[in-house]
Amino acid sequence: MVAHTNSLRDTRFEISIQHPVLSGGTFDVQQTAAVQAVKFIQRLGALSEEQMGVIEQALAQVLGLRLAQHSA
């Protein structure tokens, strides 16, 4: 899980994504955590494939990974 936070620190690990459910803030790709599915109570919304791609790219950069290129 990548946490969404309203406590902005203006680091390169903060990814801003506009979404109707989220009131400002950023996703902090440096603050990842494993969370059991039972802890998720209610789905508040879903990110688009493009939005998830932005987070995926940032997370890969933090972890030093190279992502495979997707063919369209």
pLDDT, tens digit (0-9, with 9 covering 90-100), for 30-59? 889 999 999 999 988 899 999 999 999 999
1 Cβ partners below 8 Å, 6+ apart?
A: 32, 33, 34, 35
Buried/exposed code over 13-50 (b: 16+ C-beta within 10 A; e: otherwise): bbbebeeeebeebbbbbeeeeeeeeeeeeeeeeeeeee
Strands 14-15 and 2-5: unpaired
> Over 60: is that where the pLDDT of 72 sits?
no
pLDDT of residue 4: 86
With respect to residue 68, please indicate whether it lies within any of the assigned structural domains. no
- Domain-embedded: residue 72: no
pLDDT at 44: 86
* Residues of the domain holding 46: 2-63
Percent of residues, the chain, with pLDDT higher than 70: 96
Structural domains in the chain (count)? 1
Residue range 17-39: average pLDDT?
89
* Tokens (6 digits) for 27: 């996703």
